[in-house]
Structure formats: C-alpha cells, structure tokens
Structure 1
C-alpha cells in the first residue's frame, strides 16, 4: 500500500487553472486565493472583484457522480428555502450549481464566517438541537435517490471487503483484524435489524463541530453537505458530543431538549450510536487506504498502515464489539478521537 501509484487527480489545480475555471464559471476573482483545510476535495476561499467573497470546491474525480452531487446541492437549496441556515451552492455559468472545466468539477458557495460552537454551553447545544430538528424535518419530506444510505452495515461491509481484497493490512495482522471486523459488522447489522420500523431521513451526514459555524448575531449554521446520506437522525447527533461518558450524556440531554422542542426523537436510536461509531472506524481505515496514492495523505498521516496502527485498530474494534452489546444503561457517546474529520473521511 505504501507503494501505491500516485493519485494525480488534482495535479492540474494550479492557482492559474483555478482562476481560469472560476472565470469560466462566471466569477471574477481578484487573485487572492486561500486554501482551506480539506483532504477529500480541494477547497479555497476567494475574494471577488466586486468586493464579495466565496468558497469554491473542486471535487475529487470519480468519488461522486454528477447526479449525487446535484442531489446534495438540491437538498442544500431545500434547506435554504426552509430558512435552515446552510451554505447552499450558487448557480454558475450555464445555470447549474455544478460546473465542468477541463476535466474538473467545481461548485461555489457564499462565504459564511464564524467560529466553532461552544459545546460546553447548554443553550448553544439546545439551539443546535432545534436546528437539527428543522434540518431533519426537511430531510424527511422526500428521499434521496442517488446518495448513499447508512441504514445498515453495508458501508462497513464494503470497506472491509475493499481492505481485504487490496492487501491494505499487513499479512501477519490481516486475519485477526478481519475476524474482529466481521464480528463487528454482524453486530452493526443486528442493531439495525432490531429496529425494523426505524424512520430514516436525509441527513447532513458528517455533522461534527467543524461543520457548524457560530456567529453571535445569527447563532449556528451548517456547512459542507458533501457527505449527505440517508440514515437515522442520531447519525447527526453523536459526533457533536466528544468527552467523557458522563459529560457527554449531559451534553446529549441538552441537544435533545432543543431537538424535541421542534420534533420528536425516537429514543431507541440511541442504541445505534456505538454501531454507527464502529462503522465509521472501519470506513475511516478504508478511506485512508484508498487515498494513499494521493501525495497529501502520507505526509498528513505517516502513522497510517503501520503494524502498530492495525494492531491498535484490532484493539479498538474489540472494545467496540463489547460496547455494542445490548445494555440497560444509556450508551456512551463520542470520544475526542472519534469525532475528528477531514472532509469526507467517514463516507467516501
């Protein structure tokens, strides 16, 4: 894996190329470009000649189809029309929100500043809860046709199959990782099977604190619907709540207090927190392995793929297998390392 063929998908994204692409899309940038933190796509802030500012995203080739991207954009437009504060893409030259230029695809959203929310403040959490309830209310109005579904163990199974088929795990560790991964996948599926009448919705999908920006006058707003999926609404809750279990339960109570001011929450979905976390862990390993040919990844994640990494994953999956066992006590919630995101790592 460490000798993977380099991925040159973004090799032509020089500043000159990006400015030409933006110009062709109908935006006149003044030349100031600031690359923003993103591994999955190439995202930059640009200043426009008219004095405005925007955020441009150049999509990683072959990750999403045009139909999947446009469905995400349509969902963002629905949310904006319902006055759910979200950064919705602009229509570009030709009328579409997705613009093609010399083999690359881009979308542009208005720049919406802000800082991370104060998750220690119960009122902030209640506000976020109300906002998520409104987002899910729109999300339940119609289904996705093209986006992925996180309503079964299928994403974890796909990730496991890819890792094993592509020799991503050291040969001496692969059997024990595979054995525990298979058991985890069976437990994930059993958790979903135990809720046959689970109500699904279109979700933000990657609702960690970095994808919520806060301003004192407007409160929270959502950014980056790149990983929008169909699934249980608890998927948009658990990544918000890092910390020790007792503190996390208190934070969850505040979020749900706000959520249930707007909509009902099915408490049975709390059983899915650990299965969803486990699925994300397996999927994250596959995401890193799939992207290893991108020169940015070995530089950013030098620890990935080592025997120590995979042995640590075996240990963590064993812990998750125990955590997924049905219990009478409330589930634990996200730990700090579980909620880290790099724009797409959970669902690529």
Structure 2
C-alpha cells in the first residue's frame, strides 16, 4: 500500500499483490481471481491450488482499529461455533520468520503488513432472498433470532455503538464543517437534519431502557444470501451494539401496510429463538433517519477514492442535497406521527 497517496488507499493492490498477500499466510492461489463489488474495502474471490475458493477482504486504512476488526472476527467465530450460518474468517498461518507481516488475533485471523490489513474467508454461494415469500421471511426471522440469542451472551468493547451521536450528529457536523453540502441547499439541509436528529434523539431517549445487543449492523438483503438450506449472512464489517430491530428494519419494503405484514412475519420466526420488545418498532424511522445522514457523510468522506465518482456520479450535486432535504422532511413527519 502507498503511504504517499491516501486519497487512493488501494492504488498498489494489484492482482500480484493480492496473490502474494495470500501466499504469505499459507494460501496459494492458482492465478485466478476476481474483484467483487465493495466500495468500503477491496474484496477478491481467489481460487487456490488445492481446488478451494476463498474471499479475501483488504480493509480500508484508518476506518477500524485492529482491535475493532478482531472483535468483529471474534463475534463471527462465536456465531460459527454455535452453528449459526455466518461466513467467519479463516485462521491464518503464522508468517515465516523475519517477515514484516504479522498475523493478529487469538486465533490469528487478521494479517497486517504496514498499512495493508486483510482477512480471508471461505467462499459461500447464494442468491438474494425472495422477501415476498412468507416462508422465506419466516426462516430469515428464525435465522436472525438465532444470531441474536448468541449475541446476547456477550458484549462489544471496541466496536463503535450505534446511537444518534455516532450515526447522526457526528457525520452531520463533518459534512457541514467540511462544506460538503452544496451551498444552495446547505441551509435547508442543515435545518432539516438538525430537526430530524432532535426528534430521533427524543425517540431514543424514550427507549433508554430497551436492551442493546451485539448485532450484524448492516443486515440488508445484499448481505443475506439464500440457499436451499436457508439463509446465511456475510460481511459483519458494521457489527455494532444497538437495539435488535437494527437487524430487521432494512429487510422491510413497500408501503406501510406491506412493511407491517413483513415485520409481523419476521417476528413470528424471530421469536422462536429470541424474545422481542415490541417497543423497538418505534425506532425504525429514527434508525432510517440516521442511516440517511450517515450514508451522505460516508460518500463524501470517500469521494477522493477514484472508485466512488464512477459508482456514484450523482452524488454531491445541488439536486442531490435538495432531494436529501426532502427525504429528511418526510422522516420528520414519519417520526412525529402517533
């Protein structure tokens, strides 16, 4: 990785560099690799000489500390030991004596070589789940309930918790302080975002006694893969401490009546394994609001990475921020509804 150009953190991550990195931890590729969709990190599918296939994730420098990544890995391994179908990292071979590479963790699951940090997991195939199917939703609810039953047995100490400050106020202040909101929309967006976050804080304060647990954190349909055996999840990169509903609301879609039907079906399966406090449903719109604001800051912080303007050419325009302001006004109404 290049220290000289932090705006291009993966500039030196060539196919040869990927294969060399894996070989350094005892995983020898046969030359076939394919880059997978990921903007935050760089992820590659790599065929190995022994006939197996793995997925290597190279972490964006500066986002997580080693301790935070290892805590995520530990959670995945804990779920795997409990036979919850998640894709957990592989244990890495100790690098050869004298190498600059370190393998961190107990067991070692994170490789570090200068700024380069990476983990490797087995490839697990699957397709997007059919969320219109009642049986599929019920089985996903059971899966998340099983995951949360294990999650309740421990705590995160290093991972950033999910709250109005971490996912709302901090990214909002960063955007305004760095003048990343288009000037023509800045005043209206600032006003709407401040009001939306104030209401979200009121909702969270009213639920102060709701249990916070370890959650996947980014449990949308793209991170849930379906097979004939049922669902399994990938990418615990955003694992956090939050109310349980954080792992449910991103699976809802459509009009309000459709979302109510979907959450009822999910909870029917969920409560086969884990109880659920129905008051948490009142946090869905505040959580959606936090995600909107955080997503804008996430894009803005990384827009110097050449991959981002290509993937998100519409981001940052006056019309984008005007649209975001309208979304926030809609969220204010949704959170203010009885």
**TM-score tier (shorter):** over 0.9
Q: Is the Cα contact below 8 Å between 1:151 and 1:232 reproduced in 2?
A: no
Matched, 1:66 2:66: yes
Q: Is the Cα contact below 8 Å between 1:89 and 1:108 reproduced in 2?
A: yes
Task: Determine the structure 2 residue equivalent to 1:230.
Answer: 241
1:106 to 113, 118, 123: 118
Matched, 1:180 2:181: no
* Greater RCO, CA 8 A, separation 6+: 1
Task: Determine the structure 1 residue equivalent to 2:280.
Answer: 269
The number of residue pairs the alignment matches comes to: 322
Give a deviation string over 1:147-183, Cα, whole Å, max 9, x none.
Answer: 1111444420001010011010122321111111111
Helix, strand or coil for the counterpart of 1:173? Answer: helix
Q: Distance in 2 between matches of 1:61 and 1:323?
A: 37
Task: Determine the structure 2 residue equivalent to 1:54.
Answer: 54
Runs of at least 5 residues in structure 1 that lack an aligned partner in the other structure: 328-348
Give a deviation string over 1:271-319, Cα, whole Å, max 9, x none.
Answer: 0000000000000000010001000111111111000000111111011
Deviation at 1:73, TM superposition (A): 0.0
Deviation at 1:6, TM superposition (A): 7.2
Cα-Cα RMSD: 1.2
TM-score (norm 2): 0.93
Task: Determine the structure 2 residue equivalent to 1:305.
Answer: 316
Describe how 1:192-271 pairs up with structure 2 within 5 A.
192-216=204-228, 218-271=229-282
Runs of at least 5 residues in structure 2 that lack an aligned partner in the other structure: 95-106
Gap change, CA 1:140 and 1:152, over 3 Å in 2 = farther
Task: Determine the structure 2 residue equivalent to 1:89.
Answer: 89
Q: Distance in 2 between matches of 1:81 and 1:35?
A: 29
Deviation at 1:13, TM superposition (A): 0.3
Deviation at 1:326, TM superposition (A): 4.3
Matched, 1:45 2:56: no
Q: Distance in 2 between matches of 1:196 and 1:102?
A: 41
Give a deviation string over 1:64-93, Cα, whole Å, max 9, x none.
Answer: 000000000000000001110000001112
TM-score (norm 1): 0.90
Q: Distance in 1 between matches of 2:164 and 2:182?
A: 28
